[in-house]
Amino acid sequence: MILVFSNNDDVVNGVHAACESGGLEFEWGHDLTRGAMEQVLSRLQVLVIDLTCATMSCERVLGVLDGMDSADIPPVLYLLSSPSDLDHITEDGSIVNVDYAFLPVDPAQIAPRLQVLYTLGQRRRRSMETAITDRLTGLYNRKYFLRRLDEEMYRTTRYNNDVGVLLVDIDFEIPGGQLTENTASDLLPQIAEFFQDRLRRSDIVARYKWSQVALLLPEIGAQDCEALAMDIHQKLHSHHWGSGNQEIIVQPTVSWLLFPVENLGSSIEVMSALEDSVMHGRSRQRGVISYVEDAGVMLRSI
């Protein structure tokens, strides 16, 4: 999808015509914000930004894009009023696959540029998906999750927001039967789909270890975070899972915390604390476990 940010009707219509001639999906964005970007990132191949708009300064654009994961930023086509504007878009080397065009928009000239950027965007997305996703489940992998957690922890300390982190440890058994190598291969993709259907666009869910799923929940309060942990536990346990003709019983242990926590300064420390909480809960009884700074670990059983 091609997303254009401009308040100039001639620009919007020109880009739209270029997209139609190339058979590309077009959408018009009225206000460039991080929230607006996050809502469409999963469908976005190219970003078109009209820097001639009074509300679309280069500083503002870079401010929005710098606040995002660089892996999420698609190729960008900047629309400029004159060659002197080129200095603005070449100062920041973190934005890759950048192109430019001058106004007025000529659909015949813009269309081939969009086609090239669109192809680059598709290739880049496929490459990134291969590098950051788990092959069996399609969820993000552990390495990517830890990197995103570090980024959210930094934003939390900078902007005074909270971020929730959950670790779901999953045991499973077949009543009266025996687990086979295919059991996990059948079950884990089902569990991955369960999580993907229940989270917000801004949330990150990853296969953390063999049968552990980690969740990153930006800008969530403690009450909502605990409620989600309890809901996940209850629904995982009560859902009818199966592998072939055999029923599978899932026994989850869910550990959660709300960052910032004073004695946890890195993603590794956060996840180690949650793993300790999971082990503590499993040794006594299954339930939802909350990591609490004062007491270390507090067990809440359901």
Which is it for the CA torsion 33, 35, 40, 42, positive or negative?
Answer: positive
Q: Is the dihedral of CA 205, 209, 164, 147 positive or negative?
A: negative
DSSP 105: P
pLDDT at 292: 64
Here the tokens at position 58 are 């280069």
pLDDT of residue 286: 58
Where is pLDDT greater, at 297 or 52? 52
Q: Mention every residue, 6+ apart, whose C-beta is less than 8 A from residue 205.
A: 139, 140, 192, 195, 196, 199, 213, 214, 215, 216
Quickly state the pLDDT bin for 16 (edges 50, 70, 90). very high
Amino acid at 10: D
Amino acid occupying residue 195? F
What is the set of domains in the chain, with CATH numbers?
2-132 (3.40.50.2300), 142-301 (3.30.70.270)
Helix axes 267-284 and 142-159, enclosed angle (nearest 10)? 110
What tens digit of pLDDT does each residue of 216-270 get? 999 899 999 999 999 999 999 898 898 777 888 888 999 999 998 878 889 999 9
Q: Give the best-scoring range by mean pLDDT among 121-130, 179-188, 262-271, 282-291.
A: 262-271
pLDDT of 300 above 60: no
